Amino acid sequence: MRKINKRGDLILPPVIFIVLNLMIFSILMLFVYKASTGAILYEEAYAKRIGLLLDSAESGMQFSLDITPLTEVTLKNNKNLKKENLIEHLEKNIQIDDESGEILIRLGTSGGFIYPFFSKLETETKVIGEEENKYLLNIKIK
Amino acid sequence: MIKLNKKAGEKIFSLWWFFSIVLVSVAVITMTLNFFNAPIDTRNIEVSKLHEKIARCVIDKGYLRENINSEIDLLEFCSLNPNAINEDSEYLINVKIYNENQELFKSWQYGRIDYKQDCEISINLEASNYLLCINNSESILFYNTQTNQKEHWALEILVATNNLGSKGKTKIEEETKDEN
């Protein structure tokens, strides 16, 4: 019995050390992954992309923007959201306000990112679910 | 003695291990937050688009557009949103047209007037978080209908932006919140 205890004493500390190390580095990696696929990054990137598109747009133009990554982040951040309500939810949370010249993208439950654009335009936006997992944002300039 | 050394060694080792883990974790978290929360800077594209839009609207094939003569609102004429370009916004537009005798023919100014001074400072400054300006002066042609002759005029366009966007609520959402 004593021998077993001694062996245990020898083996246990390095095992605990390795397990703890693995745990800590896994948590760190998970944090980095979560931060890289977070809503803030996508909200800002897409708001600015749409803003710059609108700033160089002229009446009569029509754009189709692939917003599939946004749908994935939206589903991840809104646990209660069902896939059949996704288009409606996206149309409500991707807003182009022609009057004030602002774009709002909200992928989480609150907040969102606002990006002003300087062009005076009349826009019409629509989210289209193309294939099973592909979504497009159609912007029509009147 | 050996026993004492071993225990002391283990203690130092675990302390060092704890210290380095904390250090690495703090470094990784700080770098990640700094990297992913850093604003995506599109101001250089935006400022050149704004400049181009105004230049295209004022000039047509090298000539000053005829209807510029009248008392026009440049924002409306160039399809720019007056609600987006005002004193509270992050834009400045300053356009001046000089005639052949270097006299000021017409000038327009919209947006943040204080940016004008900042633009003068920014010429001699290299700061990534400072506003971005384009100050361009070019020669344009003007067809004088009274003399039936081409004249060489000058167009000066100063545009500036510090538009990085923001997290929060839109103007409409804020207004509806205030009303409630």
Residues of A in contact with B39 (CB under 8 A): 44
**Which residues of chain A register pLDDT less than 50?**
1-3
Contact A47 B171 (CB under 8 A): no
Q: So where are chain B's domains? A: 1-38, 43-179
User: Residue B37: pLDDT band by 50, 70, 90 thresholds?
Assistant: confident
- The percent of residues in chain B predicted with pLDDT above 70, rounded, is 85
| Lowest mean pLDDT, pick from A45-54, B28-37, B89-98, B157-166 | B28-37
Which A residues, 116 through 135, put their C-beta within 8 Å of a C-beta on chain B?
A: 116-121
More confident residue, B38 or B90: B90
Residue A119 and residue A71 share a domain: yes
Q: Which residues contact B91 (CB under 8 A, 6 or more apart)?
A: A118, B50, B84, B85, B110, B111, B112, B115, B159, B160, B161, B163
Q: Is it the case that residue B7 has pLDDT exceeding 60?
A: no
Q: Find which of B40, B56, B73, B164 to mutate to test the A interface (most A CBs within 10 Å of its CB).
A: B40
Residue A122 and residue A59 share a domain: yes
Q: Looking at the DSSP assignment, which residues form a beta bridge with residue B106?
A: B97
Domain that holds residue A128: 38-141
Nearest to B131 by CA among B139, B143, B119, B142: B119
Q: So what's the pLDDT on residue B171?
A: 60
Residue A98 and residue A75 share a domain: yes
Residue B111's CB: how many other CB atoms inside 10 A? 25
| Chain A contact for B83 (CB, 8 A cutoff) | yes
- Count of alpha carbons within 13 Å of B13, Cβ hemisphere only? 9
Q: Is B78 within 8 Å of B125 (Cβ atoms)?
A: no
Residue A102 and residue A67 share a domain: yes
Residue A119 and residue A68 share a domain: yes
Residue A54 and residue A116 share a domain: yes
| Chain B contact for A69 (CB, 8 A cutoff) | no
- As a whole number of angstroms, the distance between CA A68 and CA B172 comes to 27
Nearest to A76 by CA among A117, A37, A29: A37
> pLDDT tens digit string along B109-158?
999 999 999 998 887 777 777 899 999 999 999 888 888 888 999 999 99
Residue A45 and residue A24 share a domain: no
Q: So what's the pLDDT on residue A38?
A: 79
Residue A29 and residue A8 share a domain: yes
Q: What is the ipTM of this complex?
A: 0.79
Q: Which residue has the tokens 């912007």?
A: A139
Number of separate domains in chain A:
2
